[in-house]
Every structure is written in structure tokens, then in C-alpha cells.
Amino acid sequence: MGAARTPRERRLNELKSAIREIPDFPKKGILFYDITTLLKDPKAFSAILEELASPYKDAGIQKVAAVEARGFIFGAPLAHQLGAGFVPIRKPGKLPADVYESTYSLEYGNSTIAVHQDAITKGERVLLVDDLLATGGTMEAAVDLVKRLGGKIFGLAFLVELTDLKGRDKLKEYDIRSLIQY
């Protein structure tokens, strides 16, 4: 990746260089990208939110849906910036009203996420947000939930994308934006 030429490229490179890399977490052989180093820095956090919101400012987004838990860190403030409602996608048993659930595969088993059945009205323009795109399983399940509610998916936004894991391939039909790629 050559030298950054534009102010935006320089800013994204600065954000990337501030992410702490922790080897063998949560298990041996995994390199964990710790974004808490960005979150504790108010200028970096603000820059992330500006970059994530920028492509959607005039898109008429009506709901921002984000996946528990780190997706909430970005989803709620993005919803505020875009003048949209916020939809939490959570683990089973965490939402009090009627829900839809979607189960997806992980490299070490399965997981399930849920959303309230009345969270999105048919035809609403939805931006889905999470901190990380890896294999795409979590976001694929989130997309399934939004589609079941009748939401129109306008885009998928991530802070980090692990390109070697090819999560983007599972989500080809959607506009995908990630700020930082590894």
C-alpha cells in the first residue's frame, strides 16, 4: 500500500496505524485488531464517525441497524448523525418483545442474532453497521433479519475488513464500505 496521497487516505492510514494488534487472542494463531485504541481518542473516534457517515449523508437513511456489541459503538452515533432511528440486533433473549432470529455459522460453531419484529417498517431504507467484516456470517444473518422485516438495505458499513477471509463474497449484492482493510 504506497504512500497516502489525499488527506482522506492519510487520515485512514493514521487510524489504521493506531489500531493495536494482539497476537494469539482470543486463541492461539489469531491476530486480534483492538479498536479500543481508536475509541479512547476523541479525535480518532470523531474521524471514524465522519468517515462512516459521509457516503450516507444525503441517502435518506431511515434506520441504522447494528449488531451487538461493538456495532452499537458506531451504529447509534451514526443514526444520530444521519437523522435516522437506531435498531439494535442482539443475542437471543436480550430483546423483550416478539423477535425474528437468524442463525449463522462460525468457525467454531453456530450463533444466533435477533431483532424486534416491529423494528423496521416495510420499505424503510436501512444502513447496516458493524465494527468488523471477517467471514461475513454475522452480517449475512443481519441482512436476513432486515429483509424479513421488509427493510430496503441501502448499504453495509464497517470500520475494519479482513480481506483474506472473503466476507464480502457472501454479501456481493450490497454496497459495502470498510474504512480499514487488512
Name which of 80, 35, 59 is nearest 125 in CA terms: 59
The helix-helix angle for 42-53 and 70-82 (nearest 10°) equals 60
Residue 76: alpha-carbon gap to chain centroid:
11
What residues act catalytically?
70, 107
List Cβ neighbours of 149 (8 Å cut-off, separation of 6 or more): 100, 115, 117, 119, 120, 121, 122
**Interatomic CA distance for residues 156 and 64, integer angstroms:** 10
